Structures are given as C-alpha cells and as structure tokens.
Amino acid sequence: MLPIDSSIIRLIQFAIHEDLGTGDITSDLSIPREGTAAARFLIKQDGVICGLPILAIVFRSFSDDVNLELKVEEGAHLRSGTIIATVEGPAHALLAGERTALNFIQRMSGVATKTHEYVNEIAGTSARILDTRKTIPGWRLLDKYATTVGGAHNHRMGLYDMVMIKDNHITACGGIREAVERIVPDLRDRPNIKVEVEARSIDDVHEILQCKGVHRVMFDNFTPALVAEGVRLVDRRLETEASGGINFENIRSYAETGVDFISVGAITHSATALDISMKLFVPKQG
C-alpha cells in the first residue's frame, strides 16, 4: 500500500502550486466557475499501473465535490486502451489537477513497468532485484514504492537505515577491516541495523569474510564469472549482492550465478513515464 505521509502530501502540494501559480488563466477565461465535467484516464501503452491513490489527493485538493471511480487495481498489468479511472466534478478542479495527477501516475507507472521487465528477465532464478538511492530528489518514497509494485525489493531508504561500507569509506578508514572494526562495536544497541561491505576484488571478499558483524557482501563491478566465484567463496555465510554495470542485456547472466540480490539503478534513474491521458467526456444521463 502506498505510504501516504506528510512528505508525500507536501510534495503533491508543491507540485500543484508549481503548476497553478496565480491560477488557471485559460479555464478562468473560458469556463463558468459553476461548470461541471467528467473525464476518463486512459492508458495508451501496455504497462503496470502505479500511483492510483495520488489521483484522489490531487483532485480533492481543489474540491471536495470531485467523485473519482477507479476502474483497475493498483499494480495491474494493463493493455493499451484500458480506462484506468473516471472523475466527475467541478470543471475547474478537473482541469487544474489534470497535469499534476498525470505527472505522478505516469512517472510511478513507468518505474513499476521498467522494474517488472527486469524482474521478468530473471524469473526462475533465486536472485531478487533491489532498487537504489538513484531516485528523483524528493521522490524517494514514491520511486521506491513503485519499484515494489513492479516486483522489486527495497534496498536501504537512505543513509540512516543500513550501514553500507563503500570504497570511499574504506579509503578514508585505511582498509576494509579497519572500517568494519570502527563501525560494528557501535551497533551493539542497534541490532536491526545491517552491515554491508563493498568488495572490489576477490581478495576483498576474502578479507570481508574474516570480519565479524558483516551481514552482506556487495560484488561491485564484478563480471558474472567473478560474481559466481564470489558466491562460491562466501558459501552462504553472508548474503550476496551484485551491483555496478548491470543492465537489461546482462542481468540474466548475473542472476544465474546464484547471487542473492542484484541492485539496479536503471529501474528508477532511467525509467520512462508511461503514456497516460485524461480526456473529458459527456456522461450518460439517467
């Protein structure tokens, strides 16, 4: 379920203000204030629909008299031409909210669709797709929610909920062992915080396995053959993750190594918005 919290409400309000400014000059000059309208949301290409709860929040920001009827379920795999929802109410509210509503569900559906494509590509293996922090600033919760709708799993939400010792930390601390030994003792009172360490070579994997308190090793920019070697070396003593240089063309070869997780930045940073439109129509009478 989409976690509607204050940060998402603020994001929607910001988007509305960004678009509306001092008012919808076109509608103000052409449509009577008391006018009503009805509209359909139509998906124009195959994909996974995501972000439907946003629609009601956007339109009811303009008027409580807006009636929204969803025609599909969140996460549904839809064919081009499917009606997603209908909305009726004050014409000014519908037209003022149109672009903001579309921007949200097009972006979120695009992320969910791209994620689903990656998940399908590794079907039949034991690997799981992880998202990354390569999200639109301010959109972290929405982007990561959309990846789960597409079938992926969330990696850490930010810098605060998981320790990830990467190359720069290792360099700053003077080595892998030094970095782990500085961090792990201070986590005794925070058992829910997991520790992941980045390996840049098989030698690094050997060193990580000698450290206490590590939960996962990340094979960074390893070839599939090296990932397979790393997986055999770890032998289920730690969780394993492949990251870096992974794309749709090679992800299957990584998944077949037996690695537990594959992190893919492309599912968020390179997702293309799904084509969705809102068109007014004349509702049937009676």
Q: How many CB atoms lie within 10 A of CB 237?
A: 10
pTM, full prediction: 0.95
Strand pairing partners for 278?
A: 41
Residue range 127-148, pLDDT digits in tens:
999 999 999 999 999 999 999 9
pLDDT one-digit tens code per residue, 82-121 = 999 999 999 999 999 999 999 999 999 999 999 999 999 9
- How buried is residue 219: exposed, middle or buried, by Cβ count under 10 Å (0-12/13-18/19+)? buried
Buried/exposed 111-127: b ≥16 CB within 10 Å, e otherwise: bbbbbbebbeebeebeb
**Domains of the chain (ranges, CATH numbers):** 6-118+272-281 (3.90.1170.20), 153-263 (3.20.20.70)
Distance CA 76, CA 68 (A): 18
Statement: residue 242 has pLDDT above 80: yes
Q: What are phi and psi of 99, to 5 degrees?
A: -70, -40
The pLDDT confidence band at residue 3, using thresholds 50, 70 and 90, is confident
Q: Is 210 exposed, middle or buried (0-12, 13-18, 19+ CB in 10 A)?
A: exposed
Asked if residue 281 has pLDDT above 90, the reply is: no
Q: Provide Rg for the chain, Cα atoms.
A: 23
Tokens describing residue 272: 């293309």
Residues annotated as catalytic are: 99, 134, 166, 198, 220
Beta bridge partners of 241: 218, 261
Tell me the average pLDDT across 245-266.
97
E strands within 44-187? 47-48, 67-70, 77-78, 83-90, 128-130, 163-165
Q: Helix (H) and strand (E) counts for the chain?
A: 11, 12
- Gap between the Cα atoms of 155 and 165, Å rounded: 14
